[in-house]
């Protein structure tokens, strides 16, 4: 069993164990936030035909060669074509067709002018300048050309992508299955949010925070409940998670105290322990194991510590299981806006939020940085790294940060 390993080694071990949970063909309406399991290639043009971008007249550009303010060209208006219809007539020399926004360009026409650039009388339209071939025409495929790679495998479906798929007539979309993530909580001190708080008890906030984070990245949480700090009880909770989910998360019981029994429960289940403890602060107590190709990850019971390691290690893992290409957190250099008065013998991650000032990225610390300060994660979208063996950090220091949420 590896112990007290680096963040990078822990991340590599977990990502190497990411399982393929398969794919579905989903209705387009149920694809937002899902990950494409295949490349999407356009099988047609969007728009599918040349069209008019505005209300006006379609005609032959050659007819306007001599047009000017003093000598307008007069064309016979032979038809009107609204959007959703096609012209019944072919345009010949000396003719025009009134055309409305979005309507297909009539056969024989190669230019369109705006209404406001003309004058009309008795079904005759006057044009006052020369129009080049294809002027005022939106070509077929201007938005999406047939054969274009619309989105590659591993792309997350966004609202604009949904619209593009609809425009292409793709009503069923290949996506990776949504991973099921079991959440179990251990600790004699825990009670649920609906229970009266008895002396010595605390409410189980970790389960609700994890549910929110898991849903926000497109996975599906399964709450398997709470149990006391007894090996058999914890083992039973984990076993339930293994039966129902693709990945099991627990909180609490992963440190070195007498009641930290998750490691012993994993041994009891004859799971392979991959590592125990990561050399960071907060969140050093973390356990990773595997049984029947399914990962079991035990996070700290301290809320902030649990969520920092969840963001740094578990979020990339879940995203990779989902088939995403962008499973790693993007990084950014930031300037610290606040002093941080504590020394950091161990590599430390500060919770904060990104603030842009005059094009420069700053990080504002979001509250206290203790292991149990969950409120510091409200508004937090950065985890900034302080190298090991650092003293107190003054405002103005440049730090590397991971963008989260």
Q: Phi then psi for 403, rounded to 5 degrees?
A: -85, 125
Q: What's the Cα-to-Cα distance from 297 to each of 17, 140, 203, 214, 263, rounded to whole Å? A: 12, 52, 21, 14, 10
pLDDT bucket at 347, cuts 50 / 70 / 90: very high
Q: What global pTM score does this model have?
A: 0.89
Instruction: Please state the rounded mean pLDDT for residues 285-312.
Output: 97
Nearest residue to 187 (alpha-carbon basis) of 397, 391, 372, 358: 372
Instruction: Please state the rounded mean pLDDT for residues 353-365.
Output: 97
Tens of pLDDT along 319-338? Answer: 999 999 999 999 999 999 99
Instruction: Please state the rounded mean pLDDT for residues 81-102.
Output: 97
| Domains, in order of start, for the chain | 2-22+177-321 (3.40.980.10), 24-43+148-176 (3.90.105.10), 56-127 (2.170.190.11), 331-403 (2.40.340.10)
Beta strands 111-114 and 56-59 are antiparallel
* pLDDT in the model for residue 387: 96
Token pair, residue 191, equals 């009670």
pLDDT bucket at 112, cuts 50 / 70 / 90: very high
Cβ-Cβ contacts under 8 Å for 283 (sequence gap 6 or more)? 299, 300, 305, 306, 308, 309, 312, 349, 371
183-214: string of b/e by CB count within 10 Å (b at 16+)? bbbbbebbeeeeeeeeeeeeebbbbebbbebb
* pLDDT in the model for residue 1: 85
Looking at the predicted structure, is the pLDDT value of residue 398 above 80?
A: yes
Looking at the predicted structure, is the pLDDT value of residue 259 above 80?
A: no
Looking at the predicted structure, is the pLDDT value of residue 204 above 90?
A: yes
Beta strands 398-403 and 331-336 are antiparallel
Tens of pLDDT along 13-37? Answer: 999 999 999 999 999 999 999 999 9
């Amino acid at each position: 069993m590896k112990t007290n390993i680096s963040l990078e080694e822990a991340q590599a071990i977990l990502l190497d164990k990411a399982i393929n949970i398969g794919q579905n063909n989903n209705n387009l309406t149920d694809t937002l936030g899902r990950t494409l399991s295949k490349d999407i290639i356009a099988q047609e043009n969007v728009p599918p035909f040349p069209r008019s971008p505005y209300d006006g007249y379609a005609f032959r550009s050659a007819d306007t060669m001599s047009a000017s303010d003093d000598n307008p060209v007069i064309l016979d208006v032979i038809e009107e074509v609204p959007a959703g219809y096609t012209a019944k007539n072919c345009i010949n020399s000396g003719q025009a067709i009134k055309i409305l926004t979005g309507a297909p360009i009539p056969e024989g026409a190669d230019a369109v002018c705006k209404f406001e650039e003309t004058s009309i009388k008795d079904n005759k339209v006057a044009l006052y300048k020369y129009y080049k071939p294809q002027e005022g025409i939106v070509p077929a495929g201007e938005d999406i050309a047939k054969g274009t790679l619309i989105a590659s495998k591993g792309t997350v479906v966004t609202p604009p992508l949904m619209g593009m798929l609809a425009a292409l007539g793709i009503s069923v979309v290949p996506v990776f299955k949504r991973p099921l993530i079991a959440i179990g909580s251990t600790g004699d001190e825990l009670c649920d949010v609906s229970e009266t708080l008895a002396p010595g008890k605390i409410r189980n906030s970790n389960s609700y925070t994890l549910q929110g984070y898991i849903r926000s990245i497109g996975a599906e949480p399964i709450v398997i409940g709470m149990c006391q700090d007894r090996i058999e009880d914890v083992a039973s909770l984990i076993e339930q998670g293994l039966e129902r989910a693709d990945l099991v998360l627990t909180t609490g019981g992963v440190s070195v105290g007498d009641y930290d029994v998750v490691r012993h429960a994993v041994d009891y289940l004859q799971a392979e322990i991959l590592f125990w403890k990561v050399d960071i602060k907060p969140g050093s107590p973390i356990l990773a194991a595997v049984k029947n190709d399914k990962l079991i990850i035990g996070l700290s019971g301290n809320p902030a510590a649990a969520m920092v390691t969840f963001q740094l290690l578990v979020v990339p893992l879940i995203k990779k299981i989902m088939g995403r290409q962008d499973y790693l957190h993007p990084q950014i250099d930031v300037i610290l806006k606040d002093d941080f008065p504590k020394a950091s013998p161990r590599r430390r991650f500060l919770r904060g939020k990104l603030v842009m000032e005059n094009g420069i990225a700053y990080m504002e610390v979001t509250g206290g940085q203790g292991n149990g300060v969950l409120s510091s994660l409200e508004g937090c979208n950065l985890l900034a790294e302080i190298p090991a063996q650092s003293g107190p950090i003054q405002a103005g220091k440049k730090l590397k940060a991971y963008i989260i949420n």
